[in-house]
Chains A and B, each alone.
Chain A
Amino acid sequence: MKIYLIDHGCKKCGSCEMACPAQAIYMLEDTAVIDQKLCRHCGICYDSCPTEAISVHEDNNQKQEQEKP
């Protein structure tokens, strides 16, 4: 599973917020952030960010946790 983080210089354009189907993204005063509890890891925000401010990370721990019944 992939983890998405907004950590490469967000310009607060709101594009990811509009695109996120889980409404997991919200704006702080200086950056947008992803609420990891709501995120469905679909990657749409990654594609929708015009400044490539969103980074993708493999998260193996999380995967194991998620796979528990």
Chain B
Amino acid sequence: MIPLTYKEGRIVNPEILMPVFGEFDVAVCGGGMAGFGAAIAAARMGCKTILVERESALGGLATVGLVNIPLDFLAGIGKEMIQNLEAMNGHWHRNSDPEKHKLVLDRMAVQAGVTLLLVSHVVEAIVENDVIKGVVVENKSGRQAILAKRVIDCTGDADVAHFAGCETMAGRPSDGKHQACSLEFRLGGVNWEKYAESDLKKNDPQWIKLIQECFDSGELPYMIDNHLNWLTHVPGRPQKSQRDEVSICFSHSRNCRPLDAVDLTRMYLEGREQADILSKFIKRNIPGFEDSYLIDTGSLLGVRESRRVVGEYVLKTMDVVRANTFEDTIAITGHHLDLHNPDGPGNIKWAELEIDGKTCYVSTLGKVGSWPPPTGWDSITDGWGRSGDQFQKKRLPTSIPYRSLVPLKIDNLLVAGRCLSAEFMAQACCRLILACINMGQAAGTATAMSLKQNIVPRKVDHKLLRQQLLADGCEIGQTFNL
């Protein structure tokens, strides 16, 4: 109970005494893919580790958000996770069963000795002299402190870094707009064989022509998106009995403010309306979906990008397009520049960069994506400003340096996952599920090493860290001789 006291038009939150929930070596905040990787890695190296998650399950977007499409390099803890999923018929073709996935994450975390605290929101950071000492959580039991020698921020939104007073970035530098958000949904009662063999899947796999036709005829009330982003075939369902299940990335909210609860509410409502419109459109128009029905929408909105920390190194879009390597690479990603249009349909797969004093529109793949640059498709260049016949597709993966996980100013804090220290367009390339686990594993490993050696994480020896990651089966570019 607090009294209703105003000061400068705001309500005063009086001084309170918080119980300490516990003292840990490592507190990992956010139990998405990055947080999972970080907690497992730290616990396996002997740290007393707690993983705090506000939802009721681990996995974040990949499970609760129904993004059941774990792409990027299979290595380390991520590879083990996929193998465990496969053993229970919960993975094929890089498609996973979100429910089995949750269970695998629970079991692996418990087995590694991680203390799990679900349904708990991290609401504050405890900081003394620029050193993080713990976090404050709020849950059914009230407001409590968790003290920790090291904290890893895997909230996707860099919440902890923000609370701790670290410098952060958000959205596109030109206008502050964020990538479009999507609420995923699942359909059941699908005849997968019929769809897989259909002319539509072979000739218009992203339904681009179909969507345009249905928009022109008025069947689709507005351009929710101009293409199907992806449709996954959920494993482990009765096969060849026309009872297949799919998960679909199609809905899009634009002009999103993913750090604002009012706008998040708007997007959940909009996403559910879109799932209603789209599931009916699919039932009417897609071969094999005649008897399909909507199972559910994600309980976590698909936020692709929100707040990113400013770290010792900010991964540059130029690093992505030129496949630059670092002496402290801790993970790699094979993804391309993949921006879901912040304020209109479709996606943008090029970035505006200055090369040799010239403005270039750079792509790693060529003339792809929904929209051409302002000067037309022919002006697309590669990372060295070459266009036309000279254009060279990027073949090597993008390297992510350890310094992109180390925030400036505050010590004993690391970040991992989609809130890493990267430029807006560079982040659009570093956010795939397995890349997030791999970053998490690196952050957890570095944290454990810093504890053992009694040094701050930013002082961890890059070479020793990379050696440890290699020993743990991680992919840090060795396969590509980077």
Q: A8-B196, A27-B393 are in contact. Are A51 and B71 (CB under 8 A)?
A: no
> Do B397 and A18 have beta carbons less than 8 Å apart?
yes
Q: How far is the CA of A27 from the CA of B202 in the complex (A)?
A: 17
Find the A residue at minimum CB distance from B72: A18
> Do A51 and B230 have beta carbons less than 8 Å apart?
yes
A-B contact count (CB 8 A): 65
> Do B201 and A29 have beta carbons less than 8 Å apart?
no
Find the B residue at minimum CB distance from A17: B334
> Do A11 and B92 have beta carbons less than 8 Å apart?
no
Instruction: Indicate with 1 or 0, residue by residue over B406-417, a CB within 8 angstroms of chain A CB atoms.
Output: 000000000000
Instruction: Indicate with 1 or 0, residue by residue over B58-95, a CB within 8 angstroms of chain A CB atoms.
Output: 00000000000101111000000000000000001111
Flag whether B7 is at the interface (Cβ < 8 A): no
Q: Shortest CB–CB separation between residue A15 and chain B, in angstroms?
A: 5
> Do B335 and A50 have beta carbons less than 8 Å apart?
no
The residues of B that contact A9 with a CB separation of less than 8 Å are 201-206
Q: A10-B205, A11-B206 are in contact. Are A47 and B93 (CB under 8 A)?
A: yes
Q: How far is the CA of A18 from the CA of B74 in the complex (A)?
A: 10
The residues of B that contact A12 with a CB separation of less than 8 Å are 365, 368
Find the B residue at minimum CB distance from A13: B71
**Number of chain B interface residues as a range:** 20 to 34
Chain A binding surface SS class: loop
> Do B230 and A50 have beta carbons less than 8 Å apart?
yes
Find the A residue at minimum CB distance from B349: A12
Q: A14-B335, A18-B334, A50-B232 are in contact. Are A27 and B93 (CB under 8 A)?
A: no
Q: Shortest CB–CB separation between residue B433 and chain A, in angstroms?
A: 11
Q: How far is the CA of A19 from the CA of B368 in the complex (A)?
A: 21
Q: A12-B365, A14-B335, A27-B393 are in contact. Are A50 and B203 (CB under 8 A)?
A: no
Instruction: Select one of B72, B93, B336 contacting A49, CB under 8 A.
Output: B93
The residues of B that contact A7 with a CB separation of less than 8 Å are 202
Q: A9-B205, A17-B334 are in contact. Are A48 and B196 (CB under 8 A)?
A: no
- Chain A residues with CB under 8 Å of chain B are 7-15, 17-19, 23, 26-27, 29, 46-53
